Chains A and B, each alone.
Chain A
Amino acid sequence: MSRSWSRSVQALVGAATALAVVTACGGADDSRARGTADDPVTVSFWAWTKGSQEVVDAFNATHDTIQVTFEEIPSGGLGGYPKIANAVKAGIAPDLLSIEYPQLSAFVSQGSLQDISPYLTEDIKKKFLPQTIEMTTLGGRNWAVPFDAAPQVFYYRKDFFAEHSIEPPATWGEFRDAAERVRKAAPRTRIATFFPDDPTFFQAMAWQAGAQWFRAGTDAWWIDTTDPASERTAAYWQGLIDDRLVSTASSFSPEWTGSLKQGTTVGYLGASWGAGVLAGIVPEQKGKWAAVRLPSQEADRPASGMLGGSTFAVSKGSTRTAAAVEFALWMATHEDAIKARIGASTSSALPASPAMVPIAKRAFDTGFYGGQDLYGLFEEAGRSIGPQWVWGPSPGATNAALGDELGEVVGGGSTLPRALRKAHEATVADLRKRGLKVEERS
């Protein structure tokens, strides 16, 4: 609690003004695609993803006409996105930004990014998993270079499942049975966690079930967060929460990591990048974990949604677009970049470029997963990502409303179906306020 006069006014406007003053000192105009060895083009880059520093070092060591200066920023949800938004508004944003798929459309609709369609030729686009190109194409233009695909899989404690002869589930029906058996085997232990703080966790599973919340018409958005697939997913998870078959800690909270360490959480519905994160949280459980594809509605029809995943986008004010895109493409599609990132850090990102997957597979140490071929699993899951999902222009409004409601859901004050309706209303209201046309299912 500060005792100064209205802190929000100061924080918000003070920062904006201070930054605006600095704007005049923004970088010199340098639109050359490449410099020379003596006078290289300098590209500035902000990210928080694991291994970014290593990748930048590897790039700078092998390139002399483009040099990159890297700054690590807080992760998006913990202040990274406000930092980016402020910097763009003040005109002091770096040339290249790391932005996750769900937020990309928000930054595009704010006019914060550059259209990089001219640089992404058909040949280049072919290097990527089609879904990732789809998700970075908004309004018919390309706004970012996809870095990774983030299909969801199910990580589980192999030793616990084997000890109690529980089979890893292939369908959501089996997942519920397995959850019951886990609790029966150890009353304080749960099969997995429903993360109430991260709306994209629930969205990924609705997405997997075939939901499509945002659909672009010719000049209007179709919004429907309560389609049958979403309703079905909501009812299913509401059942698991009501029957206390899953825990409801926040993602990466002390409560969650503590339960992993104590062995009272024996599964994790995480993205591909979660493998490295998990190994970092409980290194002492090396060799005890394994992964299977995400349970699906029917065993013979595997599917997946995406949980996060990052892209590289060029900020609006940058004059070094060509060099920035070249660096971004190098990070996403060059062997050295993948080796540097996966080899030097604990990142387990699934490259959006399929040609890079074998490189990542060789660079990733799967000792934590008993030597399991994780990338084989990721690749298969990546191909099954539902291609129907797009993000509307105001994911912030949708996710803020959904996130608030999810907190109530796990507290017993609301239900998932109600949360979906709230998210729907908030989205429609926000889009209308922005002057956009919205169609709803009648």
Chain B
Amino acid sequence: MSTLGRGRAPRRSTALSSRTRTRLAAGTLLTPFFVLFTVAMIVPVGYALWLSLFTEKQSGLGFDGPRTVFDGLGNYATALGDQAFRDGFWVLLGYCALYLPLMIGGAIVLALLLDTALARARRFFQLALFLPHAIPGLIAALIWIYLYTPQLSPVVAAMEAGGIGFDFFSSEGTLPSIVNIALWQWLGYNVVIFYAALQAVDRSLLEAATVDGAGNWRIAFSVKLPLIRSSLVMVLLFTVIGSLQLFTEPLILSRGSGSAVTSTWTPNMYAYSAAFERNDYGLAAAASVLIALAAAALSFVVTRFTNRRKEARP
């Protein structure tokens, strides 16, 4: 009894201390994350929610300084009731309709090609495709504005020489113009993700398929693609959320060129314009919260939809 007790006691204490140590280590390693997460995410989001409930009212001729008054959900009603804000979502929808198929389809095709290409060509194309991604969006937009500008751009000049007249800055031209910039910038990035997933596919499966008489097309669509499903879902999710954030490229296009991009063209631009052109911080905060909610809802739908289809499979 006593021997048992004596024998057990130290064992329990080591068990405890090791558990405490694990906790301590976990705590120490996680603290920086939670501190940053709190400072950079929780506090700003909380502040945005707080700001969105207030509005500024003025008196007389408006030169006595504003009073901040509680407005409940007034800013949300204003944002939702504003045609310009709602139109922004339609623009995004059009953007997604054009951008998503081109991006996902293009990236898959290129990744499959890379996967079958010769080793040396593979390395070259991988780098060539990825390079544009190394250029910041702002710089890319500035370069593309130059390439879109009539009378300056060699591209437009070449197109005109070939009998193609296209105004990249017209109201019909702006959406393709911006989709093109985004494609150029992100295509290589997504190709690399798909390509990495394809590389992880078990080669013996492919050999088995070949032995069974499957051609390259059949292998690509019936073996490779189903096996990189999870990467597909991830890229789709990131691209959809990324599209909701559309801001830099259209902003540069609206300022630096005579394009038909308005100051409230996308929801994010609406929030920016509300804050910094119209000095309405409450409205800007409400619009931002609404965009965040839309992003959350959309990612929920995308993950839910794709998971269900996965579960439905045998």
Q: Does B127 contact A (CB under 8 A)?
A: no
Chain B 235-279 near chain A by CB (<8 Å), digits 1 or 0? 000100111011111000011111111111000100111011111
Q: Which residues, 75 to 105 on B, are CB-close (under 8 Å) to A? A: 78
Please tell me if the beta carbons of B271 and A139 are within 8 angstroms of each other in the complex. Answer: no
Q: Does B13 contact A (CB under 8 A)?
A: no
> Once bound together, how far apart are the Cα atoms of A418 and B288, in whole Å?
30
What are the residues of chain A within 8 A of B57 when measuring CB–CB? 434-435
What are the residues of chain A within 8 A of B261 when measuring CB–CB? 407
Please tell me if the beta carbons of B241 and A219 are within 8 angstroms of each other in the complex. Answer: no
What are the residues of chain B within 8 A of A410 when measuring CB–CB? 258
Please tell me if the beta carbons of B169 and A411 are within 8 angstroms of each other in the complex. Answer: yes
Please tell me if the beta carbons of A13 and B278 are within 8 angstroms of each other in the complex. Answer: no
Given the known inter-chain contacts A10-B44, A81-B276, A255-B150, please indicate yes or no for A407 contacting B259, CB distance below 8 A: yes
Please tell me if the beta carbons of A12 and B284 are within 8 angstroms of each other in the complex. Answer: yes
Please tell me if the beta carbons of A78 and B45 are within 8 angstroms of each other in the complex. Answer: no
Q: Which residues, 383 to 403 on A, are CB-close (under 8 Å) to B? A: 392-394, 396-397, 399-400, 403
What are the residues of chain B within 8 A of A8 when measuring CB–CB? 247, 268, 271-272, 284, 287-288, 291
What are the residues of chain B within 8 A of A81 when measuring CB–CB? 276
Distance from A8 Cβ to chain B, minimum over Cβ atoms (Å)? 4
**Cβ contact of B268, chosen from A7, A89, A413, cutoff 8 A:** A7
What are the residues of chain A within 8 A of B288 when measuring CB–CB? 6, 8-9, 12-13
Chain B 276-314 near chain A by CB (<8 Å), digits 1 or 0? 111111001101110110010000000000000000000
Segment at the A interface, from B26-34, B60-68, B219-227: B60-68
Please tell me if the beta carbons of B295 and A7 are within 8 angstroms of each other in the complex. Answer: no
Q: Does A141 contact B (CB under 8 A)?
A: yes
Given the known inter-chain contacts A1-B245, A221-B61, A434-B66, please indicate yes or no for A411 contacting B145, CB distance below 8 A: no
Total CB contacts across the A-B interface at under 8 A: 198
Please tell me if the beta carbons of A3 and B279 are within 8 angstroms of each other in the complex. Answer: no
Distance from B143 Cβ to chain A, minimum over Cβ atoms (Å)? 11
Please tell me if the beta carbons of B64 and A139 are within 8 angstroms of each other in the complex. Answer: yes
Between-chain CB contacts (< 8 Å), 27 pairs: A1-B249, A2-B245, A2-B247, A5-B241, A5-B292, A5-B295, A6-B291, A8-B287, A8-B288, A9-B44, A14-B44, A110-B66, A219-B61, A220-B61, A248-B258, A249-B258, A250-B257, A254-B152, A255-B257, A255-B258, A264-B151, A393-B61, A396-B277, A399-B277, A408-B171, A413-B260, A435-B59
Interface residues of A (CB under 8 A from B): 1-10, 12-14, 16-17, 77-78, 81-82, 85, 89, 105-106, 108-111, 138-139, 141, 196-197, 216, 219-221, 248-250, 253-255, 258-259, 262, 264, 392-394, 396-397, 399-400, 403-404, 407-408, 410-413, 430-431, 433-436
Interface residues of B (CB under 8 A from A): 40-41, 43-45, 47-48, 51, 55-66, 78, 137, 145-146, 149-152, 167, 169-171, 182, 185-186, 238, 241-243, 245-249, 254-264, 268, 271-273, 275-281, 284-285, 287-289, 291-292, 295
